[in-house]
Amino acid sequence: MAEITITGWTTRDVRFPTSLDKTGSDAMNAAGDYSSAYCILETDSAYTGHGMTFTIGRGNDIVCAAINHVAERIKGRTLSSLVAHWGQTWRHLVNDSQLRWIGPEKGVIHLALGAVVNAIWDLWAKTLGKPVWKVVAEMTPQQFVDCIDFRYITDAITPEEALAMLTESETGKAERIRDAENSRAVPAYTTSAGWLGYGEDKMRGLLQETLSKGYRHFKLKVGGSLEGDKRRLGIAREIIGFDRGNVLMVDANQVWSVPEAIAYMKELAEFKPWFIEEPTSPDDILGHKAVRDALRPHGIGVATGEMCQNRVVFKQLLMAGAIDVCQIDACRLGGVNEVLAVLLMAKKYGVPIVPHSGGVGLPEYTQHLSTIDYVVVSGKQSVLEYVDHLHEHFLHPSVIQDGFYQTPTEPGYSVEMKAESMDRFEYPGKEGSWWRSEEAKPILEGEKI
């Protein structure tokens, strides 16, 4: 293939008005507008690389501004030079000595990194004519290890250990690839019924609907009020049962202190949740450990990750035994490469990967990551969150059938958004776009909660 050079990039601030119907609402995030800080890498060929990071509205413009700084670092570089030594490329992207001050490797600048790194993966996979999961599945263990910047994690896992683990996982990989090709690699769980702002009738209807579609795992938001949560979890158990093989999970989105989390969850133990997600601050490793230890006798596990800053925090959560479930996020982490590092650590510490997917574009991304985990790293099936919102804006949306993600087959990383969707929902938008319409006024002129 001819050499391809990155000639420039475009950022788009795209916001979908989900706050109008409370989609995405939870105990911490009352009214989010699901948004993409979007990056399109331009090249001297017909190929473009599409990557995005997810936010819930205000501040999406700040992430777009940060994308401009990160993308600048690869302008003029050839694609082959970027992917030949991926770990070094990743290090180069986080290593601008001035930009590093506003991280390092966390917050806005790291969200921006995720968009840019994922855009490179999308571009690369498109030129290879394969979906991203397949690109990784066809790597040798050494090529996989070379994708990772091991700085700060060698006390948990060394490149040599990673190589040995991946070599061992080669056994059975061909069958697991076949499972993936038959769309039997990644079972889905649903959060669609569980948003806190939904009324009980809407929740009941959505639970029944998703149950009949073949889902077996259901997640509900909690942390609004104990009485209300008991009522909602009671309804959920009434519909999905206790003994029909259906699994219930709950998510508090960080609203509690550690003692509050323990006390509150003991009250909800009767509903037998598999895990409590984000019981407290995402940075509190010892707090998660304390919650986990206190809830273990009650049969409740602890999950976190959607706001876990980077591989270093995941390393500590895993080494401290603070979590039962590892919820990687496709763009909170610095793109595919950093996710691969966390998959390896989770495998080593025996913790299942259950990615965070509650956001626009996230299921499109994470279907690749869960497939990679199953096929290449853990060799074990897990579950992956699915929220049934906004997929119509993507050229190749994720699809669930019989409770399984349908493994992506189109080349790339699946987050290429339709041009007309970007134009319509770009913020603040041009004349004639949604954010300039009357419909937008309740959000633009309303209280910022």
Task: Report how far residue 395's alpha carbon sits from residue 392's, in angstroms, rounded to the nearest whole number.
Answer: 8
Residue with tokens 């910047």: 149
Nearest distance from residue 238's CB to Mg ion, in Å? 24
Minimum CB–partner distance for residue 56 and Mg ion (Å)? 12
Are 428 and 435 a contacting pair, CB within 8 Å?
Answer: yes
Report CA torsion sign: 123, 125, 131, 136. Answer: negative
Choose between 123 and 261: whose C-beta lies nearer to Mg ion: 261
Shortest distance in whole angstroms from residue 356 CB to Mg ion: 6
Residue 179 or 277: the one with the smaller Cβ distance to Mg ion is 277
Judging by beta carbons within 10 Å of its beta carbon (0-12, 13-18, 19+), is residue 104 exposed, middle or buried? middle
Nearer to Mg ion, 33 or 251 (CB): 251
3-state helix, strand and coil shares in percent for the chain, rounded to the nearest 5:
45, 15, 40
What's the closest the beta carbon of residue 31 comes to Mg ion, in angstroms? 16
Tokens of 224: 């609004």
Residues that bind Mg ion (CB under 5 A): 251, 277
Nearest alpha carbon to residue 369 among 170, 107, 121, 49: 121
SS3 track for 168-196: HHCCCHHHHHHHHHCCCCCEEEECCCCCC
- The answer to whether 336 and 116 have CB atoms below 8 angstroms apart is no
CB 357 to Mg ion: min, Å:
9
State which residue, 260 or 410, has the beta carbon closest to Mg ion: 260
d(CA 195, CA 359): 12
Q: What does the alpha-carbon distance between residue 64 and residue 109 come to, in Å, rounded to a whole number?
A: 10
Looking at beta carbons, which residue is closest to Mg ion?
251
Give the residue from 268, 320, 322, 330 showing the smallest Cα distance to 298.
Answer: 268
> Least Å distance between CB 277 and Mg ion?
5
Determine the 3-state secondary structure of 248 from DSSP: strand
User: Minimum CB separation from Mg ion for residue 100, in Å?
Assistant: 29
Rank residues 122 and 277 by Cβ distance to Mg ion and give the closer one: 277
Q: Which is nearer to Mg ion, 130 or 356 (CB)?
A: 356
Our CB check for Mg ion shows the closer of 66 and 325 to be: 325
Cα torsion for 305, 324, 391, 409, to the nearest 10°?
A: 110
Nearer to Mg ion, 147 or 207 (CB): 207
Q: Which of 371, 429, 339 is nearest to 113 (CA)?
A: 339
Residues with a known catalytic role: 221, 356
| Least gap, CB of 253 to Mg ion (angstroms) | 6
The helix (run of H) or strand (run of E) holding residue 158 is none
CB 288 within 8 A of CB 261: no
Structure tokens belonging to residue 150: 């091991």
Question: What is the sign, positive or negative, of the torsion defined by CA atoms of 291, 295, 297, 299?
Answer: negative
